[in-house]
Amino acid sequence: MQPSTNFMLRLLLGLAVLTLGCQSLLDVELPSFFGSESEPSWPHSTFVPPTKRTQILQGQPVELETYHLSPNKLTQIEIAVNGQPLRSEETAGAAAFPAGLLNVQVRRDDGGLIQTARVTPVLSATTQTVSLVIVGTTPGSYDLSLVAVDEAGQKGEAVTQRIEVVEPSR
């Protein structure tokens, strides 16, 4: 192969990779990206990787990532366990998930952890990543759900992952 032809092929390949890497996630064909054949609701949320069940050992922390996107700016991400918010003082007195069963905390941008029923994006953005640190204190099955809300008040479908807390083998 001629040196100039080799150079042109490498240049075209590099430009193609750069172009694909710079595209917005909203440009990606979401149904095939998230493994669903139907159109997603907006705003849209998913666990990364998109699994339905996670098994953890009692007392051992596990970190889960979630990704949320919307054509409008996101205003909050609501967090619930078994359909109940994590903290009642943030939810106008609604019954909160009982403490002592499953500890769910959000990792802040500075690396610190906070227990909250809502994550409010710091910047006005159409995408948000939320890292959750989970410690199962009582064996059992728990449904962890997150719902993204955008500035138009639209709530996306809840993304849910079953957390199964098991006792360590002796």
Residue 88's CB: how many other CB atoms inside 10 A?
Answer: 14
Q: SS3 for 57-109, per residue?
A: ECCCEEEEEEEEECCCCEEEEEEEECCEECCHHHCCCCCCCCCCCEEEEEECC
Q: What is the pLDDT of residues 49-72, one digit of tens each?
A: 888 899 999 999 999 999 999 999
Q: What is the pLDDT of residues 86-141, one digit of tens each?
A: 765 555 556 778 878 898 988 988 888 888 888 888 777 899 999 999 999 999 99
With 60 as the cut, is the pLDDT of residue 32 above it? no
Alpha-carbon distance of 114 to 112, in angstroms, equals 7
Domains of the chain: 1-40 (no CATH), 41-166 (2.60.40.10)
Q: What is the mean pLDDT of the chain?
A: 80
Residue 24: band (very low, low, confident or very high) from pLDDT cuts 50, 70, 90:
very low
User: How far apart are the two ends of the chain, measured CA to CA in Å?
Assistant: 63
